[in-house]
Amino acid sequence: APERWDALPEPETLGAAVLTFAATADQLRPFWERYLRKVPRTVAYSSTAVYRVDVPGQEVDETTPLRPTARAAADAFLLQRGATVLTISGIFGEAQDARGVCTCFAAYASAGGALNGQKSVNMVHVDDIIAATAHALAAEDALVAGARLNVGGGVFKLHELMSHCKYPQAAEAAHARDDTDLSSKAVLSTRLLQTVMPRDFSFVPPLESAAAAAARRAALAPDAVGPSPAASPAADSA
């Protein structure tokens, strides 16, 4: 809100700004003119829900046509002004946290989400979003200015998530009819991985085993022996 802008740091003192909230182009315009245009680099979060899916389960990348939504119009406003837009899939965190994949699935199912086992789902770990943001901020302008970059994480079938979470109908869902859900897609993050992230970076697997998760957390610990992972450092559920 404009009345709160005076509480922000002077834009000339910032190296970059990261917009994590959704806003319309009309809301962004005065904020850009008064504030963001004076910041050297802007990175904004968007959602993979902006993409138009014509065939359930299709692959989508940054060249895929967008749905005519307010979110897509806001993205276009920012891109035209040189901002970087990170297009993020469904967000998950550690299994024991509020954003664990099984907690996310339980919320989806309890809200009446369709349980078509063949639906393609994309989820990205919060740490990977932070890593992608940090590397986008550090990248050369020629690579990221005015660019959309997908941060899609891992893709899997809904029945695999149901099985991972020991949902009673998982076996039945695995034999579900063909996918008919137009929110079902496989988000490709090739541009991000090839132009921004380190070569040895890999996304945290959404359906990671407890043992693998424990080993990954141990490797990230400050007193861990050996080199730290390169990825050491928010949307749509499909």
Distance CA 46, CA 29 (A): 17
pLDDT tens-place string over residues 123-173: 999 999 999 999 999 999 999 999 999 999 999 999 999 999 999 999 999
Reference 95, options 211, 2, 181, 178; nearest CA is: 211
- Does 17 score more than 90 pLDDT? yes
Measured CA to CA in angstroms, residue 236 lies from 5, 88, 176 at distances of: 29, 7, 23
For CA atoms 91, 74, 81, 30, the dihedral sign is negative
Q: Apex CA 169: angle with CA 208 and CA 53, to 5°? A: 70
Contact assessment for residue 193 and residue 136, using Cβ atoms and an 8 Å cutoff? no
- Does 235 score more than 70 pLDDT? no
Binned at pLDDT 50, 70 and 90, residue 220 comes out as confident
pLDDT tens-place string over residues 49-88: 999 999 999 999 999 999 999 999 999 999 999 999 999 9
Q: Give the DSSP H or E segment for 175.
A: none
Structure tokens that stand for 177 in this block:
């009819």
pLDDT of residue 178: 83
Q: Quick one: average pLDDT of 33-49?
A: 97
Distance CA 87, CA 99 (A): 19
pLDDT of residue 229: 37
Measured CA to CA in angstroms, residue 15 lies from 36, 79, 154, 175 at distances of: 11, 18, 31, 52
Q: Quick one: average pLDDT of 46-51?
A: 98
pLDDT of residue 221: 83
This prediction's pTM: 0.90
